[in-house]
Chain A
């Protein structure tokens, strides 16, 4: 869909113009056909209640819907087991694809199964659906009622967001990771700095980041309030999607004269390791400022930091440091079965097992306190996750710090928060 008048469009405006079937600009309300909608066991049971209340009979485009049993995986009690049973029955009745317990986190599965591609409008009934922006797809989080409406109509209404352009320059130095860049950005924008807006990553630094790195930045864009966190597509995007989707796609590129609500430049080469202190994601300091804080639990996983590359980075620091310090519980939760299989093939899993790690079923795990390893009272946790709100991991008496996989591993080695560059030089 082409330009509106003489003014250029952002990636968001272009994707939503194509989906609305007319050229649109930021601020307009549009009704769009959805390419894909994800429902998890955290959101779908409620959506099925809304579906019934709306008088829903049929699912308009069952092939565009996907369910994932990820928040309660495996089911921690009989009641969540009943939610799973209800989702399975609905999926079977309507011909909807369903990812079973143990297959992994819905967002990771959407990405792995090629359900987010350049130009797609892929929504998820979970806030971290912004992750899909790494693939140049417009990914955004919705609630259960919107998911129900999507089941019935195949559509949703959206306000076209204005975009903040985030120009990344340079390359990350050794010992510094995409999570550090995302935390630096959260500190700059604050938790509401991009509310109602999209982040659009641009610049040589964005091109330098690998697809797995871009997923981290897109994933964390919701922690700044963003509606979407979009990258441009390139050879890395195409290489990742090879064999995952047979769809033909055209990369969506912003016009050179697109209008932005804000412009931020982040020099990747100037960054050092960062850490988010309890209990807010934008409460970020350089890791040196938190060094020495005792750590009792190290959580590696989630839709932010649970991919193979994250575990490789953590493993390298742990091995170099001689494994976790006594008294530190190391918890490993791969984001998906594909990730778990890769870690098994390349020996990383054996390394973690040899170091005494607790291996948890692929899924959301304890990130949101629904199942998995719940921290004890009074303990400090360091995690590769995306949120450190009080009580987030299921216990309001634990304190959660967020950092890169390498920084989490460094804390495991020392038993206290440490700069990973001191261990792997």
Chain B
């Protein structure tokens, strides 16, 4: 998977839990991200889903994805055409589910990123990089463990296991 791309920042706050990303009650009717994406973040902002453009990047404060471990909270974001989430910190289950599905989670100080800023993600030998093109600032994402980089480069857990047959640490 290509880990270098650009996108438009979509600002969210702290403690955005998985029920806000996608309400559990919506799962009663479908698990298909293409269907669920119309309800993305509806408890935070009912107009949000309609305003998402493919290539947007979610930008949040601390503890993004807290609460439930439900994996549709990661796949619905991908379903909306969003390939990365940048947050001050992530809940561990969300972080893991994101990586397993090839959704890039980047942890760094997001306080200087504003709605609509142009962000550029990159991949180096040392890890992942992030630049706010609008502000001309380089941000320093926290490094991911090698197994997570390997999962992301494979495109997620499904292609990783198809390739390796088992976990390689």
Name A residues whose Cβ lies closer than 8 Å to a Cβ of B. Answer: 29-31, 42-43, 45-46, 49-50, 53-55, 71-72, 76-77, 79-80, 125-127, 141-146, 148-149, 152-153, 155-157, 159, 191-192, 195-196, 225, 227, 280, 368-370, 387, 389-392, 394, 396
A145–B69 CA distance with the chains assembled, in angstroms: 11
> Is B167's CB under 8 angstroms from A46's CB?
no
Q: A46-B72, A125-B69 are in contact. Are A143 and B28 (CB under 8 A)?
A: no
The 3 closest A-B pairs by CB, nearest first: A192-B63, A143-B97, A143-B71
Interface residues of B in 7-34 (CB under 8 A from A): 15, 17, 19-20, 23-25, 27-31
Contacts of B27 in A (CB 8 A): 42, 370
> Is A227's CB under 8 angstroms from B92's CB?
yes
Contacts of A30 in B (CB 8 A): 169
Q: A225-B91, A389-B20 are in contact. Are A143 and B43 (CB under 8 A)?
A: no
Q: A127-B93, A145-B100, A145-B157 are in contact. Are A157 and B167 (CB under 8 A)?
A: yes
- The smallest beta-carbon distance between A161 and chain B, in angstroms, is 9
Point out which of B27, B29, B72, B167 has the most chain A C-beta atoms below 10 A from its C-beta: B27
> Is A192's CB under 8 angstroms from B92's CB?
no
Q: A79-B30, A369-B25, A394-B25 are in contact. Are A145 and B71 (CB under 8 A)?
A: yes
> Is B62's CB under 8 angstroms from A192's CB?
yes
A280–B23 CA distance with the chains assembled, in angstroms: 16
Taking a contact as CB atoms closer than 8 A, the residue among A42, A225, A280, A392 that contacts B92 in the complex is A225
> Is B17's CB under 8 angstroms from A389's CB?
yes
> Is B67's CB under 8 angstroms from A389's CB?
yes
B126-149 interface code vs A (CB 8 A; 1 in, 0 out) = 000000000000000000011100
A387–B24 CA distance with the chains assembled, in angstroms: 13
Interface size on B, residues (CB 8 A): 44
Taking a contact as CB atoms closer than 8 A, the residue among B15, B89, B145, B162 that contacts A55 in the complex is B162
A146–B161 CA distance with the chains assembled, in angstroms: 11
Name B residues whose Cβ lies closer than 8 Å to a Cβ of A. Answer: 15, 17, 19-20, 23-25, 27-31, 43, 62-63, 66-72, 74-75, 89-93, 96-97, 100-101, 145-147, 156-158, 161-162, 166-167, 169
Q: A50-B157, A149-B161 are in contact. List 8 more A-B contacts (CB 8 A).
A: A54-B161, A143-B74, A143-B100, A145-B101, A146-B157, A149-B157, A370-B28, A391-B25
Contacts of B147 in A (CB 8 A): 29, 157
Contacts of B17 in A (CB 8 A): 387, 389
Q: A143-B74, A159-B145 are in contact. Are A195 and B91 (CB under 8 A)?
A: yes
- Residue ID in chain A nearest B157 by CB atoms: A145
Contacts of A126 in B (CB 8 A): 68-69
A42–B68 CA distance with the chains assembled, in angstroms: 10
> Is B24's CB under 8 angstroms from A369's CB?
yes
Contacts of B93 in A (CB 8 A): 127, 141-143
> Is A79's CB under 8 angstroms from B162's CB?
no
A391–B19 CA distance with the chains assembled, in angstroms: 8
A79–B25 CA distance with the chains assembled, in angstroms: 12
- The smallest beta-carbon distance between B87 and chain A, in angstroms, is 11
Contacts of A152 in B (CB 8 A): 161
> Is B69's CB under 8 angstroms from A142's CB?
yes
A338–B17 CA distance with the chains assembled, in angstroms: 32
> Is B19's CB under 8 angstroms from A389's CB?
yes
Q: A46-B72, A125-B69 are in contact. Are A146 and B96 (CB under 8 A)?
A: yes
Taking a contact as CB atoms closer than 8 A, the residue among B15, B25, B156, B161 that contacts A192 in the complex is B15
> Is A391's CB under 8 angstroms from B43's CB?
yes
A263–B116 CA distance with the chains assembled, in angstroms: 41
> Is B43's CB under 8 angstroms from A396's CB?
yes
Contacts of A127 in B (CB 8 A): 67-69, 93
Contacts of B145 in A (CB 8 A): 29, 159
Contacts of A141 in B (CB 8 A): 69, 93
- The smallest beta-carbon distance between A354 and chain B, in angstroms, is 32
Contacts of A390 in B (CB 8 A): 19-20, 43
> Is B70's CB under 8 angstroms from A54's CB?
no
- Residue ID in chain A nearest B20 by CB atoms: A389
Contacts of B92 in A (CB 8 A): 195-196, 225, 227
> Is A145's CB under 8 angstroms from B169's CB?
no
Q: A29-B169, A143-B74 are in contact. Are A53 and B158 (CB under 8 A)?
A: yes
> Is B31's CB under 8 angstroms from A145's CB?
no
Contacts of B158 in A (CB 8 A): 50, 53-54, 145
